[in-house]
Structure formats: structure tokens, C-alpha cells
Amino acid sequence: MALLPINFPRWLEENSDKLQPPVNNSVLYKGNDTIIMIVGGPNKRTDYHVNQTEEFFYQVKGNLLIKIVENGEFKDIHINEANVPHNPVRFENTIGIVIERVRLSHHIDSLRWYCENTNCRKIIYEESFYCVDLGTQLKPIIEKFAASKELRTYFSYTICIVQFPDHVA
């Protein structure tokens, strides 16, 4: 079946209610090996998404900060390859397009939270899953983590607790 053209500005008007925290994500198109998602801001995520496939991102409107962890080093840069833990920080009145590969059975995604203490940065919690629908699968994991002080607490030489934005916890 042929794909019909999409009037993107009209789609945004008709679907902006779908771009809600904590993920702010809606699937525009899902094919056999490609998913196109629309993401909006603002969001207040503290997790880092880890996926085993490449990802293309195009910022349509406004500025975007991508927080990544590369070889154990935390950076604020634009993402340019797969398997990089990343935390997209979207600002108010911004719109972006995300195009990802459909996951094969051996592709496992994860959401990961790190200790916010710059002297620690240990992984506090990680949950892996087979990704079928990012827009619906991330929210329950984020909400579970936000609601559990036990999951958000890491004991080392000091106690590290991940703080969570008010709208999620």
C-alpha cells in the first residue's frame, strides 16, 4: 500500500495532545524496519535511553540538548551513532522528528539512570525491554522508577538518590 503524503503542520495541530510528558512522543509512521516518531518539549527526563540500532534525529523547531554517556564520560552533545546512552532535554515550544530502525528480536533497549553526583556516576537502575512501541513502553518504566525511592537510591561510600521532576513522581 502506498503511503500518503502527510501535511506536517496540520498533523501537529491535530496531534499535539499526544506529545505529553514524560516522553512527549507519538508515532507518525511504522514500517517493516523503520519507525518515525514526533517528539515535543518540554520534557524533564532523567533516564538515558540505550538502543542497539542507529537513530536519526532532525530538530524541526527550537533548540535541543542531548546528554550522552560515551565510554563512561558524561557529555552534552548531539548524538551521532547507535548504542550511546542519551538523555534528550527538550525546551518549551520545540518539535523534533526521530527516525529509528524497527527492532529485531535480538535488539534490546534499556532505560538507565545514573547517580547525579559527579564524583560517583554509577548506574543506579537499568531496565531492559524489547521495544515495540517506544511511546507507550517508556512511560511505565519512567513512572515505576520515579515512584520508588528504593530504585532511585544507590548505596556506595555515600547515599545517592536520584531526584525526580514533580510532574512524574
Which residues are annotated as part of the binding site for Fe cation?
A: 49, 55, 86
Residues making up the binding site for substrate = 55, 90, 100
DSSP single-letter state for residue 18: G
Residues of each annotated binding site for O2? 45
Residue whose grid cell is 534499556 = 110
The beta strand positions in the chain, using DSSP E, are 25-30, 34-40, 48-50, 55-61, 64-70, 73-76, 86-90, 95-101, 109-114, 123-129, 153-155, 159-161
Q: Which residues are annotated as a binding site?
A: 45, 49, 55, 86, 90, 100
